[in-house]
Structure 1
Amino acid sequence: MKMTFPVLTTDRLVLRKMAAVDSRDMLTYLSDERVMKHYGMSPFESEQDALDEIGWYDKIFETEAGIRWALQTKEGQVIGSCGFHNRDHRHHRAELGFELSAVHWGQGLMREALAAVIAYGFEAMSLNRIQALVEPANAQCVRLLEKAGFRREGLLAQYEFTLGKYDDLFMYALVKSEYANRRPL
């Protein structure tokens, strides 16, 4: 049975399925070097790059390997995305990923989106563990995850090879029992 893509809402955002029509908005923020600095990819250069990314979002949803929501303002602009990938059904875990247009940093929008996505992961997807891999230099992301109740579990030395170099990554995780006892975002 094909699952319908869930729409989530927060005070200021609608989290919905990313569509091809969103490729221009996506290109705007994923071509920004500030946004891509810790993303492990080069800034996007074309609308085709954005369409390929949207295709990947579709694929992970169709194969039940994850789900990625477009973050849309109430005015209709897509300003980022957030969701899960590398879902492991047997072990009830998934990896969290997200990005936000730099012009919207510092406004609490990603905190809003994460609260909805994390709740969906634990409640609707029956996840027991949500994990996130973060470059140590990405202080904004580290702060956001820690505010959300994630705990740093360790450093994965030279864990990924991106852009011609090996990257160390912090492993952060939030498990369902800790989520139930944490203060809300």
Structure 2
Amino acid sequence: MSHSSQSIAAALSALDGWPLLQGPRVRLRGPRDADVEAFFELFGDPRVMRYWSRPPLTERAEAEQLLTRCHDEFAARTALEWIIADENDRAIGSCKLFRLNPTHRRAELGYALHPDHWGRGVAREANTLALDWAFGTLGLHRVDAGIDPDNTASRALLHRLGFVTEGRQRESFFVEDRVTDSELLGLLGSDWRRDR
């Protein structure tokens, strides 16, 4: 299916809320005020934040600000940050399409998952739902991802999803006093559809 930059912009504008994406074990849904504790637990966990470009949250108010930002970015249609919810609708992670660019038909993918759910294919399922929507429903041409080169688990997941490592930006993020490189990965919609 061919999509133009105008049709992507129109599809984003027409959204009246976060698309609800249902998988076998998890669903992606919009964030709610009740998710603030789960957000604080997720983004305050040093294990989750080890390879992020910011330190772990230390105050609940920071989680409230993150949730507010989710709604603001959605309102501006610059990002869609879904909650990864389990079968009981509890928030166990986050999956985000950000830097949405209808003109160039691209976006970036980001995700975080509570450590209790690591190693069980949950992140792969959640990201597959988001990528199916991004390439199928929305019609993006390309999705990028950037990771800390030391994050071998994230690299393995992205490669399983079909992303290709395309390069490395040297010393691109400061987290407190530590500077890190960024490994750049990309996935084309044509590759995603071919491999499905």
* Both proteins in one fold, TM over 0.5: yes
Between the two proteins, what is the percent identity of the paired residues?
26
2:130 equivalent in structure 1: 117
Q: Does 1:3 align with 2:19?
A: no
2: CA distance between counterparts of 1:2 and 1:124? 12
1:36 equivalent in structure 2: 49
> What whole-Å deviation, never above 9, does each CA across 1:55-103 have from its counterpart, x for those lacking one?
1111211111110100111112101000211111110110100000011
- Choose from 160, 171, 185 the match for 1:147: 160
- Choose from 147, 157, 161 the match for 1:134: 147
Note the residue ranges of structure 2 that are not aligned, 5 or more in a row. Answer: 1-12
2: CA distance between counterparts of 1:2 and 1:118? 19
Conserved in 1, the CA contact under 8 Å of 2:81 and 2:95? yes
2:33 equivalent in structure 1: 20
1: CA distance between counterparts of 2:69 and 2:179? 24
Conserved in 2, the CA contact under 8 Å of 1:40 and 1:163? no
> What whole-Å deviation, never above 9, does each CA across 1:24-69 have from its counterpart, x for those lacking one?
0111121110000011111111221111111111121111111010
Deviation at 1:157, TM superposition (A): 1.1
TM-score by length of 2: 0.89
Q: How many residues align?
A: 183
Q: Which amino acid letter does the alignment assign opposite residue 87 of structure 1?
A: L
Deviation at 1:160, TM superposition (A): 2.5
Q: Which has the higher helix share?
A: 2
2:183 equivalent in structure 1: 170
SS in structure 2 at match of 1:149: coil
Note the residue ranges of structure 1 that are not aligned, 5 or more in a row. Answer: none
Over the aligned positions, Cα root-mean-square deviation in angstroms equals: 1.2
Conserved in 1, the CA contact under 8 Å of 2:96 and 2:111? yes
1:56 equivalent in structure 2: 69
Conserved in 2, the CA contact under 8 Å of 1:96 and 1:132? yes
TM-score by length of 1: 0.94
After TM superposition, where is structure 1 displaced by more than 4 Å over at least 4 residues in a row? none
